[in-house]
Structure 1
């Protein structure tokens, strides 16, 4: 029985890693450019455009305002279209990515706002293009803040992945519900909680370490 439970924990933890890792990376791939566009089109940005900023902001805020458990259910048709199923670890990655992308976008936008405006104005005075300002000033200067934001995102996705497990997404959340709650094994639920806490601490510590190293360059 013990070896069986250990195997279940290992496989469930692997599913959680897969969900968090893939959705976090995809969320960053979508969210970072979105955050850059939001910053550039802001009224104080390099390319101010109220219509674009308001439109993107509306979409980002709309997705962020939907509770994740509702989002899980609402995007089931889209999930089926993308991966061919609405249950399982692969299917859970779709709503996790949708939840992560706007979250990352706002954090990136906030980090970019912290960049010294004088640096941007100096670059513009020297004839730098928008692309050069983004790649050589905004992103390098805001990188510690962006990494901190991505760390927060990955930590949040750990909790979201556990929620996804409650409706068939797999991972540690599914293990805790099926064995800890439905089969009345509180020790399994406790073990799941401990593993999740340790995992979150490791993710946060790694993110903090990277931020410190980047800040002391």
Structure 2
């Protein structure tokens, strides 16, 4: 059984919708969380072992849960939040919870790469912690953070495909419903090709912007 071009385009749109909304919401959680994990650690500008000792294990726990398990485990919460546990909008809830902690670790690693001498110089000039974060840490780490966001976006594409296993919509749902369950090899091939092209485009854009920022 062959699927129509309209259905393929609809599935692609659903995937892009899930990825874009999840990326924005995940960034609003992951980036501040990554900053907190850096600045509250021992010896940093806002050292606070109490906050760090709480955030660090929470991030580790959330990151250790495979997405497909998280997707099923929080179905009651998803239903409470958006009124349903099926469809693209419902899939965004576990996607955000999955990608937020993942992004926080990548942002943390990017910020930790910043030379400590730059931070010490900022302190000697009388910069406040917020000024150090916005005017020294972020500008120095921005290229690396762009690559981290690229990695997160590619991870989201893969996660949306898994969301299709429980009716999340998108290309994953198309491949399972029309490809696997209805024995349509061409549907699976087309889906795989679209996903590969999508990932390659995201990677190319990420490297393009990263090079631009490092040269600026």
What is the TM-score when the length of structure 2 is the normalising length? 0.98
Alignment correspondent of 1:147: 146
Q: After superposition, what is the alpha-carbon deviation per residue over 1:84-116, rounded to whole angstroms, capped at 9, x for unaligned?
A: 110000000000010010011000010001111
Deviation per CA, 1:106-164, whole angstroms, max 9, x where unpaired? Answer: 00010001111111111111211111001100011110111110100000000000000
Q: In the TM superposition, what are the counterparts of 1:69-84 in structure 2 within 5 Å?
A: 69-84=68-83
**Aligned twin of 1:17:** 16
Offset of residue 44 of structure 1: 3.0
Confirm whether residue 200 of structure 1 aligns to residue 199 of structure 2. yes
* Map of 1:210 onto structure 2: 209
Match in the other structure for 1:32: 31
Q: Specify the alignment match of 1:116 in structure 2.
A: 115
CA distance, structure 1, for counterparts of residue 106 and residue 134 of structure 2: 18
Q: Which residue of 2 aligns with 1:188?
A: 187
C-alpha distance after superposition, 1:147-200 (max 9, x if no partner): 110100000000000000111000000000011000000110011001000000
Q: TM-score normalised to the size of structure 1?
A: 0.97
Question: Segments of 4+ in structure 1 off by > 2 A?
Answer: none
User: What is the distance in 1 between the residues matched to 2:124 and 2:83?
Assistant: 52
Structure 2 gap segments, 5+ residues each: none
| CA deviations over 1:66-101 (Å, ceiling 9, x no partner) | 010000011111111111110000000000010010
1:169 aligns with 168
Q: CA RMSD, aligned part only?
A: 1.0
- Matched residues in 1 for 2:135 and 2:173: separation? 44
